[in-house]
């Protein structure tokens, strides 16, 4: 669990062997696969590696960016199969939505969620008029990987209560689907 990395944007010459060789510097690799087109046998430009321990994934991720066979690749934690259909799971964001907040203070959140990475902002949302808490908030990190790491764990025990987290997709990020990403650049 949580030992697998997705590697995208691979050079088409990158093989299982060269992928493995590169990522072995952060630990023992138990499985490696560059996805190939079944007909042409050509690389589809992405693959997966599985380490023997999840701490190795952390090591590899903290050494981004990765350059393999002359190309900078996109390295992300692989998502468990059952989560793959969730719309927000593939999003690359630095902000996380936290629900279930009761007694917890912003300090509690800072202290607990700080173990996933460097937090730049913590907000517990309150009602503008009454000042009462609404039971949810947001945490922002300086790296998207911290969010990926935290949301892999479904619920978190923080200061005596259970909190759920998911990626905070602002309407502008999510609504356009692929517009902002690969599609939009050609329009000029």
In the chain, domain spans: 4-80, 95-169
The label of the residue with tokens 């590899």 reads 60
| Rounded CA separation 75/179 (Å) | 21
pLDDT at 1: 66
Give Cβ neighbours of residue 25 (< 8 Å, ≥ 6 apart). Answer: none
- The stretch 38-60 carries a mean pLDDT of 95
pLDDT at 186: 38
User: Do 4-80 and 95-169 fold alike per CATH?
Assistant: yes
Residue 60 corresponds to which tokens in the numbers above?
Answer: 């590899």
Torsion on CA atoms 143, 147, 149, 150, rounded to nearest 10: 140
User: How does pLDDT run across 62-88, given as a tens digit for each residue?
Assistant: 999 999 999 999 999 988 777 767 767
Domain 4-80 has CATH 3.40.50.300: no
- The stretch 103-128 carries a mean pLDDT of 96
H/E stretch holding 151 reads helix 144-152
Least confident of 3-7, 15-19, 82-86: 82-86
Q: What's the predicted TM-score (pTM) here?
A: 0.70
User: How does pLDDT run across 145-181, given as a tens digit for each residue?
Assistant: 999 999 988 789 999 999 999 999 876 544 333 333 3
The mean pLDDT of the chain is: 88
CATH of 95-169, one of 3.30.70.330, 3.20.20.70, 3.20.20.80, 3.40.980.10: 3.30.70.330
């Amino acid at each position: 669990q949580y030992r697998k990395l997705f590697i995208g944007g691979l050079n088409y010459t990158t093989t299982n062997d060269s992928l493995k060789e590169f990522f072995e510097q952060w630990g023992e690799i138990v499985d490696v696969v560059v996805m190939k087109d079944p007909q042409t046998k050509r690389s589809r430009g992405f693959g997966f590696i599985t380490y023997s321990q999840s701490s190795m994934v952390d090591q590899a991720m903290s050494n981004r960016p990765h350059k393999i066979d002359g190309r900078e690749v996109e390295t992300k934690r692989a998502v468990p199969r059952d989560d793959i259909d969730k719309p927000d799971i593939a999003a690359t964001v630095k902000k996380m939505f936290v629900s279930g907040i009761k007694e917890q203070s912003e300090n509690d959140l800072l202290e607990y969620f700080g173990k996933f990475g460097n937090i730049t902002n913590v907000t517990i949302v309150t009602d503008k008029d009454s000042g009462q808490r609404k039971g949810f908030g947001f945490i922002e990190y300086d790296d998207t990987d911290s969010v990926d790491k935290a949301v892999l764990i479904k619920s978190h025990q923080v200061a005596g209560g259970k909190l759920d987290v998911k990626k905070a997709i602002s309407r502008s990020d999510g609504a356009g689907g692929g517009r902002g990403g690969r599609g939009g650049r050609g329009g000029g």
